[in-house]
Structure 1
Amino acid sequence: MVRWRILWGTAMAVLTAAALGASASPAAAAPGGSGDGVVPSTNVVGGTRAAQGEFPFMVRLSMGCGGALYSSTIVLTAAHCVGRTGTNTSITATLGVVDLNSSSRITRKSNYVYRAPGYNGAGKDWALIRLASPVTGLATLPIATSTAYDSGTFTIAGWGAAREGGSQQRYLLKAQVPFVSDATCNSAAMYNGEVIATDEICAGYAAGGVDTCQGDSGGPMFRTDSAGAWVQVGIVSWGDGCARRNRPGVYTQVSYFSSAIRSAAASLGG
């Protein structure tokens, strides 16, 4: 069964809010969370703990998703993590720390959500969240604007579960996964044609064992560019379970949507 990489109960709340024409509200904080509305869900499977400051652009969102700091006021995440486009002051973004419980964490409230036009649950899985005030002192994550970096080895990171059906992690985990071609990912042995080749990119091991998981939705998949700097090539979208054999992670292909993302961000002042 295909699953979004967001806690199922949270996903239902988002979809219900969208159906009612309202922006999604964050789930209530739970024991072991950061106390800012982050819900327990599931983290990078097969990962190791990231060092403080290693990925300064990583964002944790209070509805149980991840994101990347696109600009000082804009977070890039997945469309299935949010409700409709419009004013939304209910989301809290946590930034600047590996440990969600750290007293050094930076938090910002949202004031607007932009969801990809035409999003209906199949492809186009990207969205922007505008923050109520700028974040300073943290590096942003540039997006890929061509397919030049849409292969090779990618880095994934998140606070989702470390095993399928597990709970949110307190500390940011990271891992590396290899590119899987569209033809291979859509083969009968894997997703049998379910992947939208133009919109999505696959990454993972045929043997399984390393993957993003529920709770990592909206977080970035990234790699180094020709200058050795990080560039975002994917957005955590969906997969069949977590780290299963012949079931790589499926990510929004950022390069395909780069023009639309940049235009939308500019319209939001970012």
Structure 2
Amino acid sequence: MSSLVRFMKRTLAVGAVALAAVSLQPGTATAGPAPVVGGTRAAQGEFPFMVRLSMGCGGALYTQQIVLTAAHCVSGSGNNTSITATAGVVDLNSSSAIKVKSTKVLRAPGYNGTGKDWALIKLARPINLPTLKIAETKAYDNGTFTVAGWGATREGGSQQRYLMKATVPFVSDAACNAAYSDLVPSEEICAGYLDQGGVDTCQGDSGGPMFRRDNAGAWIQVGIVSWGIGCARPDYPGVYTEVSTFAAQIKSAAATL
């Protein structure tokens, strides 16, 4: 990966200013890229499955009581009542926001900071909102994707009050591997604008979904915001957990919560 440093796309606390860039050691979570760069504000109700997590990450409702997010956003598996999930709003300060505490966390087995970047958070009660189904085959791992989050809108910026959205095109494993020598192609999928940059997820977007329409026109999740070099830099696309690779494990893990 040359002399550049790999960054996870999270912040350490809701409302925190983006932290200075620091290197990531296996098994740790740290600051890196910021909300969606080069995007526009989402409309209320446009992505009802979106969840904001109190540790400074995003997520999506896998079921009405389970949030799918990134492994690097959580410290491990087990009982956990310290996380608050906020849902149902574009504006995090809205009085109509739904806030629910966590009860359990399940981090991907074998996660050590490289690949396998997924986790499940069980909530204390169901949230009566639409869920986001996950891709179970690689049929949708191509084309143009939508990303959304409350992360920074520029590298080194602060997280946002309003949910932002953007579209990013698929980047092949070969092209992405040219940028990142430690890419795990069997477990990760890349998206972004290689030549010009300008659109990307960033700090505070970690754990949020990358999704597209399926053949029936419904939203389907193909990625989880994971890491990258900076935010929206040319030649450095965003790296996402390839959901289809882990779909069976996610389904099985959710059944145990």
**TM-score, structure 1 as length reference:** 0.86
Letter in 1 for 2:134: I
Letter in 1 for 2:221: Q
Shift of 1:8: 6.1
State the match for 2:78 in structure 1: 86
Q: Which residue of 157, 166, 185 maps to 1:175?
A: 166
Q: Which residue of 49, 60, 63 maps to 2:55?
A: 63
- Decide whether the 8 Å contact of 1:91 with 1:110 is kept in 2: yes
Residues in 2 aligned to 1:160 and 1:244: alpha-carbon distance in whole angstroms: 16
Equivalent runs, 1:1-270 vs 2, <5 Å: 1-7=5-11, 42-136=34-128, 138-187=129-178, 190-191=179-180, 193-206=181-194, 207-268=196-257
How many residues align structurally?
Answer: 241
- Decide whether the 8 Å contact of 1:70 with 1:76 is kept in 2: yes
Residues in 2 aligned to 1:72 and 1:245: alpha-carbon distance in whole angstroms: 37
Structure 1: 4+ residue segments shifted above 3 A:
8-11
RMSD across aligned C-alpha pairs, in angstroms?
A: 2.0
- Decide whether the 8 Å contact of 1:42 with 1:169 is kept in 2: no
Shift of 1:194: 1.6
Q: Deviations over 1:2-41 (max 9, x none)?
A: 1000126899xxx99x88xxxx9xxxxxxxxxxxxxxxx9
Q: Deviations over 1:86-120 (max 9, x none)?
A: 00000000000000000110010000000000000
Residues in 1 aligned to 2:123 and 2:34: alpha-carbon distance in whole angstroms: 25
Shift of 1:77: 0.1
Q: 1:142 to 1:214 in 2, by over 3 A?
A: same
Shift of 1:42: 2.7
- Structure 2, unmatched stretches of 5+, are none
**TM-score, structure 2 as length reference:** 0.90
- Decide whether the 8 Å contact of 2:87 with 2:99 is kept in 1: yes
Residues in 2 aligned to 1:7 and 1:241: alpha-carbon distance in whole angstroms: 13
Q: Deviations over 1:160-192 (max 9, x none)?
A: 0000000110000000000000011112xx22x
Residues in 1 aligned to 2:186 and 2:76: alpha-carbon distance in whole angstroms: 23
Shift of 1:266: 1.0
Find the residue that maps to 1:251 and give its secondary structure: strand
- Percent of paired sites with the same residue: 70
Shift of 1:75: 0.0
Letter in 2 for 1:3: F
